Structure formats: C-alpha cells, structure tokens
Structure 1
C-alpha cells in the first residue's frame, strides 16, 4: 500500500436519532456507499435555534473512499430525519494495508 492508496480512504461521522442509525447504515452498505459502519450510542450537547439541547444520539462512523464523498453526502441528507444532519469527512493518514484494500474492494462493487 502506498500513500496514494491510503489517501483514497475517508472516515465520515454522522449522528442520528437513537433507533435510526441502523437503517441508515444498512442502506449505505446495501448501496455500496460504505464498506463498514460502526454505530455508537452518544450524548450530544449543542445549540439549535437559540436553545441548548442535550440529547441522546447514535454516532455512525462510516468507512468509504474519497471518490464517493459527494454521492454519500447527498444520499445521507436525502434519507436523514434531521433538517441539518452532521456529515463530517476526515482523511485517513495510516491504516493496515489489508483493511484499506478491503474497504476499496467493497465500495468499488458499486461499479461492477
């Protein structure tokens, strides 16, 4: 694996209401927009429309490739129950070669 290959992988964070994350994750995998999605229960504190909110949420950690950023973001926004869903994309700077290769193979299945 070289630096060019690793730069193709990204991690996307997305929060969702409890109970909604599983459906979102399954749709991403089904459409091959992600190779893997982890779901964690979290608590978020934020300001929304002038009020401070303290809410339970689920955090989706989505593993995919950089080429799918725009398609993944558009799809997430279209199926997400929030008016303004969190979609944050982070680069991967290092990873186990076999895992990186697996991620690439899984998301490339959408082009087969």
Structure 2
C-alpha cells in the first residue's frame, strides 16, 4: 500500500494557483487548500514579517522529490520550505480516490 502524506508550502498569494495547477496537472498532488498566514522568519540577517499563503496539499511520499524539482522551476522564493507530514490513517474511499489520481511509476 502506498504511503500517503500532506505537504505544506508557503508562497506569495499571486502564485498559489499557478503552483497548485502545475502540481495537479502532473498528478503530483490530488488537492491543494489555501490558508492565509502571517510569517515571521530570519532572512538575510533580519527578521522579516510577511503575509503569505500556506498551501496544504495531499500527495504520496514517493512523489516528494519530483514535487520539489517542479517547485524549484516555478516557485518565486529563493529558499522555500516544503514539508511532508505522514497520513497514518485515512478512510478507504479517500485512499482509493487519492491512489487513483496520483502519478504512479507507470505514468
């Protein structure tokens, strides 16, 4: 059985749909949700305070590296943070839907 996961990523509001569409069209994710967030972080020696959008995406563990490669092509940030959170339990109908839509090694 394939290991499913959530991915998180922040981006500028203007690029959220571009990123989501690029990953959806390649079947690297099955869903993307957008949450407005305020982020404070160290950047180039100073504390930055920015409004961003958090993408909360559903995917599979084995697609992480391909997703990261795709993001390096399209994400506007010099350094973005892509995190993976394991899905330990999921209802069977959702699992079947996700596995049916996600890219496999044969595609």
- Partner residue of 1:26? 21
- In 2, the alpha carbon distance for the partners of 1:110 and 1:26 equals 21
Contact 2:26/2:103 (8 A) holds in 1: no
Encode CA deviations 1:17-72: one digit per residue, 9 max, x unaligned.
Answer: 11211110011101111111111111101111111111000000111111111101
Partners of 1:30 and 1:111 lie apart in 2 by 16
2:40 to 38, 45, 52: 45
Q: TM-score, normalised by structure 2?
A: 0.92
Matched, 1:75 2:70: yes
Name the count of aligned residue pairs: 107
Q: Which runs of 5+ in 2 are unaligned?
A: none
Give the counterpart of 2:99 among 89, 104, 111.
104
Question: Cα offset for 1:110?
Answer: 8.1
The partner residue of 2:56 within 32, 43, 61 is: 61
Alpha-carbon distance in 2 for matches of 1:64, 1:23: 17
Root mean square deviation of aligned Cα: 1.6
Please give the alpha-carbon distance, in whole angstroms, between the structure 1 residues aligned to 2:57 and 2:87: 12
Residues 45 and 83 from structure 1, CA distance in 2 versus in 1: closer, same or farther, beyond 3 angstroms?
A: same
